[in-house]
Amino acid sequence: MTSCAMPRSDGAAPDAAMRRGACPSLSKPMQTGDGLLVRLRPATGSMALGELRALAAAAERFGNGILEVTARGNLQVRGLTAATVAGLASAIGEAGIAIAEGVAIETPPLAGVDADEIVDPRPLARALREAIAALDPPFTLAPKLSIIIDGGGRVHLDDIVADLRLKAVKADDGVAWLLSLGGTARTARSVALLDARESIHSLLAVLGRLAAIGDNARARDLDAEPIRNELAGEERPPARPTLETEPATPVAGMHVVADGVTVLGVGFAFAQADAASLTAFLRKAEELGATEIRPAPGHGLFVLGLDREEAVTAQRHASSLGFRIAPDDPRNHIATCAGTGACASALMETKVVARLMVEAAPELLDGSMSVHLSGCPKGCARPSSSELTLVGAPSGYALVVNGTASVAPSAYTDANGIKTALAHLGALVRQNKDAGESARSCLTRLGAARIAAAFE
Q: Assess whether pLDDT exceeds 90 at residue 182.
A: yes
Give the C-alpha distances (Å, rounded to integers) separating 217 from 100, 141, 382. Answer: 22, 7, 21
Average model confidence (pLDDT) across the chain? 90
Q: Are residues 122 and 22 in the same domain?
A: no
Which residues lie below 8 Å from residue 214, measured CB to CB, with a gap of 6+? none
- Shared domain for 427 and 375, answered yes or no, is yes
Q: Residue 45 falls within a domain, yes or no?
A: yes
> Where does the pLDDT of residue 248 fall: very low under 50, low under 70, confident under 90, or very high at 90 and above?
confident
Task: Give which of 205, 1, 246, 26 is closest to 116, Cα–Cα.
Answer: 246
pLDDT at 111: 96
- Of 327, 347, 369, the domain-final residue: 327
Residue 384 neighbours by CB under 8 Å, 6+ apart: 159, 161, 184, 404
Q: Is residue 1 part of a domain?
A: no
Quick one: pLDDT at residue 240? Answer: 52
Give 428-443 pLDDT, tens digit per residue.
999 999 999 999 999 9
At residue 9, the pLDDT reads: 37
For the residues 129-151, what does the mean pLDDT come to? Answer: 96
Q: Tell me the CA distances in angstroms from 414 to 42, 77, 417, one per residue in order.
A: 42, 32, 5
Q: How many CA atoms lie within 13 A of 26 on its CB side?
A: 26
- Of the three residues 200, 232, 264, the one that is the final residue of a domain is 232
- pLDDT > 80? residue 4: no
Distance CA 114, CA 401 (A): 35
Residue 6 lies in a domain: no
Strands (DSSP E) contained in 111-239 are 146-150, 164-171, 174-181, 189-194
- 347 and 321 assigned to the same domain: no
pLDDT value at residue 173: 78
Q: Are 105 and 147 in contact (CB under 8 A)?
A: yes
Enclosing domain of residue 124? 110-232
Q: What share of the chain is helix, strand, coil (3-state, %, to 5)?
A: 35, 25, 45
Task: Please state the rounded mean pLDDT for residues 382-395.
Answer: 90
Do 303 and 274 share a domain, yes or no?
A: yes
Strand-pairing partners, residue 35, are 32
Instruction: List pLDDT tens digits, range 94-106.
Output: 999 999 989 999 9
- Helices 308-320 and 275-288: crossing angle in degrees, nearest 10, is 160
Please check whether residues 161 and 221 belong to one and the same domain.
Answer: yes
137, with CB counted inside 10 A (0-12, 13-18, 19+), is: exposed
Residue 240 resides in a domain: no
Q: Classify residue 302: in a domain, yes or no.
A: yes
Is the Cβ–Cβ distance between 257 and 263 less than 8 Å?
Answer: yes
Overall average pLDDT of the 255-267 stretch = 92
User: For residue 43, which of 124, 99, 126, 89 has the smallest C-alpha distance?
Assistant: 99
Question: Do residue 93 and residue 115 come from a single domain?
Answer: no
Write down the H helix ranges in 245-384: 275-288, 308-320, 350-360
- How confident is residue 189, by pLDDT bands cut at 50, 70 and 90? very high
Tell me the mean pLDDT in the region 239-247: 61
Measured over the CA atoms of residue 234, residue 237, residue 240 and residue 242, the dihedral's sign is negative
Residue 70 DSSP label: -
> pLDDT band at 258, cuts 50/70/90?
confident
* pTM of the model as a whole: 0.86
For residue 302, the cross-strand partners are 265, 294
pLDDT of residue 20: 44
Residue 244 maps to a domain: no
pLDDT, residue 156, reads 93
**CATH number of residue 204's parent domain:** 3.30.413.10
pLDDT of 201 over the 70 cut: yes
- The answer to the question of residue 10 being in a domain is no
Note the pLDDT tens digit of each residue in 13-67.
334 333 344 578 888 898 888 899 999 999 999 999 999 999 999 999 999 999 9
Q: What is the pLDDT of residues 279-312, one digit of tens each?
A: 999 999 999 999 999 999 989 999 999 999 999 9
Q: Which of 116, 205, 100, 103 is nearest to 152 (CA)?
A: 116
Q: Domain check: are 348 and 431 in the same one?
A: yes
Asked whether residue 166 falls in the same domain as residue 183, the answer is yes
- Contact (CB, 8 A) for 158 and 152: no
Q: In what order do the strands lie in the sheet with 189-194?
A: 104-106, 146-150, 164-171, 174-181, 189-194
Cβ(381)–Cβ(372) below 8 Å:
yes
Q: State how far the Cα of 13 lies from the Cα of 430, in Å rounded to an integer.
A: 49
Burial environment of residue 386 by CB neighbours within 10 A (0 to 12, 13 to 18, 19 or more): buried
Q: How confident is the model at residue 449 (pLDDT cuts 50, 70, 90)?
A: very high
Which helix (H) or strand (E) element contains residue 304?
Answer: strand 300-304
Among the three residues 277, 304, 327, which one is the final residue of a domain in this structure?
A: 327
Query: Is 237 part of a structural domain of the chain?
Result: no
- At a CB cut-off of 8 Å and minimum separation 6, what does 391 contact? 348, 374, 375, 376, 377, 379, 397, 398, 399, 400, 405, 409
Q: Which region among 12-21, 64-73, 334-343, 401-410 has the lowest average model confidence (pLDDT)?
A: 12-21
**224 with 189: CB under 8 angstroms?**
yes
Q: Which residue has the higher pLDDT, 171 or 371?
A: 371
Q: Give percent of the chain with pLDDT exceeding 90.
A: 77
What was the pLDDT predicted at 232? 72
Q: Based on the structure, what is the number of domains in the chain?
A: 3
Tell me what the mean pLDDT of segment 386-400 comes to: 94
C-alpha separations of 109 from 67, 114, 289, 303, 353 in Å? 19, 9, 20, 11, 30
CATH number of domain containing 278: 3.90.480.10
Label residue 201 exposed, middle or buried (CB < 10 Å: 0-12, 13-18, 19+): exposed
Q: How much is the average pLDDT of 419-426?
A: 96
